[in-house]
């Protein structure tokens, strides 16, 4: 968004170039309302194009490279994805330096998508974590990895804005370019491989896509297959609510009756990201007395209470109370990832987390469409309705996880779920 809002004027001879110019920058004076609305619409459209380009291309590359890493190893997958991210950052820097048309950004997104993009980094990282952990300790290790994502987001939110004001838009992208290259070099040279023994396998083959489809195809796994589908549905709903609510928080804080300034918004963002650390500590403590499924239920309760308080927040203390109630909100997704990982074979971790990464990318698109449509539609009767809607929606994954835990706690009877019925026996 920052790049697009500060875009220089494109040559008039290029009809494909968008009409975003440096004359729209704030240093040149206040924006007329018509131009401001036109700029916001243009930025929103180009963000949609970029997101769709990355997601649609990445959908095919992640489901190819993720299963491929089950045989070829996690290191090559991580190195390829990191190089793709570095190439995207390089193209963005070239566009800013050479003042190329905005459409060149699509090339960067497509190239990053072909290399797996951020989703492949997530898929390979979580698969690596599953490779090097036992079944009991896997949930906490996955939570540590998600806490790292939260810390990175906190650092970016606190430093990114100040850095951009001090040195412009290019400097943060130089950091992204350098960090991506460093990650690729580390994955290729220093990181210890978790897949042993590695087997040479073809990359461009339909077998990799078939391995992802087999995970969700009905087969002989019975109850395990049903749990895979139910946990995937719960994951989709939880992540969609998380993305959708996060997209609206700053807009909600800026408007009446809160009317927060930049300082309070910074504090709110920090409080939001602190939930990653408090959830990690809470997960560690609760695992001493509860099964993972019930820890996830506690996290969902934290989510529901926090979103409910935010939906009704009319004062700053109540808003921060909502943030405080979210202290266990990030315990849910590590538990679900770990549960999913235990349902498949050790040689299918890459395929599984590639599918989960695609679901996560789909969650972002669905959440943006649903929650950003609900917010303006609900302003006339309840500004916080999208948060309340998210809290109610979380009751579905709570019911799913609770029901599975109850079924799994009946070892003397749960095996009957996979037995054939009388009609099936007669047919046999």
Task: Identify whether 197 is preceded by a cis peptide bond (ω within 30 of 0).
Answer: yes
Condensed to tens digits (0 to 9), the pLDDT of residues 64-110 reads 999 999 999 999 999 999 999 999 999 999 999 998 998 999 999 99
User: What does the mean pLDDT of the chain come to?
Assistant: 85
| Beta carbons of 320 and 215 less than 8 angstroms apart | no
Domain 2-10+41-192+222-406: what homologous superfamily? MFS general substrate transporter like domains (1.20.1250.20)
- 312 CB-contact burial (10 Å; exposed 0-12 / middle 13-18 / buried 19+): middle
Q: Is the pLDDT of residue 32 over 90?
A: no
pLDDT at 301: 98
More confident residue, 245 or 14: 245
pLDDT digits (tens, 9 = 90+) for 233-286: 999 999 999 999 998 998 899 888 999 987 888 888 888 989 999 999 999 999
Three-state SS string across 60-96, please?
HHHHHHHHHHHHHCHHHHHHHHHHHHHHHHHHHHHHH
369-428 tens-digit pLDDT: 899 889 989 989 999 999 999 999 999 999 999 999 999 987 654 444 444 544 444 444
- Min mean pLDDT across 63-72, 178-187, 365-374 is at 365-374
Whether 21 and 74 have beta carbons less than 8 Å apart is answered as no
pLDDT at 52: 87
Instruction: Sketch the domain layout of the chain as residue ranges.
Output: 2-10+41-192+222-406
pLDDT, position 37: 63
Q: pLDDT: is 4 or 308 the higher one? A: 308
Structure tokens at 34: 């018509």
Residue 30 pLDDT > 90:
no
- Give the SS3 label for residue 217: coil
């Amino acid at each position: 968004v920052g790049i697009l809002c500060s875009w220089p004027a494109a040559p008039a001879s290029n009809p494909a170039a968008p009409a975003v110019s440096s004359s729209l920058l704030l240093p040149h004076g206040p924006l007329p309302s018509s131009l401001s609305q036109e700029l916001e619409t243009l930025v929103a459209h180009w963000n949609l194009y970029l997101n769709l380009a990355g997601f649609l291309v990445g959908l095919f590359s992640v489901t190819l490279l993720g299963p491929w890493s089950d045989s070829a190893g996690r290191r090559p997958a991580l190195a390829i994805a990191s190089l793709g991210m570095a190439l995207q950052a390089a193209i963005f820097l070239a566009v800013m330096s050479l003042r190329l048309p905005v459409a060149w950004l699509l090339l960067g997104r497509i190239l990053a998508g072909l290399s797996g993009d951020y989703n492949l980094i997530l898929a390979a990282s979580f698969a690596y974590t599953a490779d090097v952990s036992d079944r009991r300790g896997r949930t906490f290790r996955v939570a540590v990895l998600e806490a790292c994502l939260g810390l990175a987001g906190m650092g970016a939110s606190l430093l990114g804005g100040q850095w951009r004001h001090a040195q412009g838009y290019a400097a943060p992208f130089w950091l992204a370019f350098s960090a991506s290259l460093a990650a690729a070099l580390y994955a290729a040279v220093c990181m210890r491989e978790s897949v042993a023994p590695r087997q040479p396998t073809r990359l461009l083959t339909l077998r990799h896509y078939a391995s992802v489809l087999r995970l969700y195809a009905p087969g002989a796994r019975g109850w395990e297959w049903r749990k895979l589908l139910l946990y995937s549905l719960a994951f989709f709903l939880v992540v969609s609510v998380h993305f959708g609510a996060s997209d609206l928080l700053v807009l909600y804080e800026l408007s009446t009756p809160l009317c927060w300034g930049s300082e309070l918004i910074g504090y709110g963002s920090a409080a939001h990201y602190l939930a990653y650390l408090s959830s990690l500590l809470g997960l560690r403590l609760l695992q001493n007395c509860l099964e993972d499924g019930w820890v996830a239920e506690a996290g969902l309760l934290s989510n529901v209470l926090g979103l409910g308080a935010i939906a009704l927040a009319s004062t700053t203390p109540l808003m921060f109370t909502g943030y405080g109630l979210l202290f266990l909100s990030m315990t849910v997704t590590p538990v679900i990832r770990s549960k999913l990982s235990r349902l498949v074979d050790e040689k299918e971790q890459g395929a599984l987390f590639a599918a989960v990464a695609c679901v996560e990318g789909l969650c972002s698109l669905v959440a943006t469409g649903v929650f950003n449509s609900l917010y303006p539609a609900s302003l006339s009767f309840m500004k916080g309705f999208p948060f309340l809607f998210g809290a109610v929606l979380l009751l579905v994954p709570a019911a799913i996880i609770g029901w599975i835990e109850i079924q799994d706690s009946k070892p003397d009877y749960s095996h009957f779920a996979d037995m054939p019925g009388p009609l099936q026996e007669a047919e046999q």
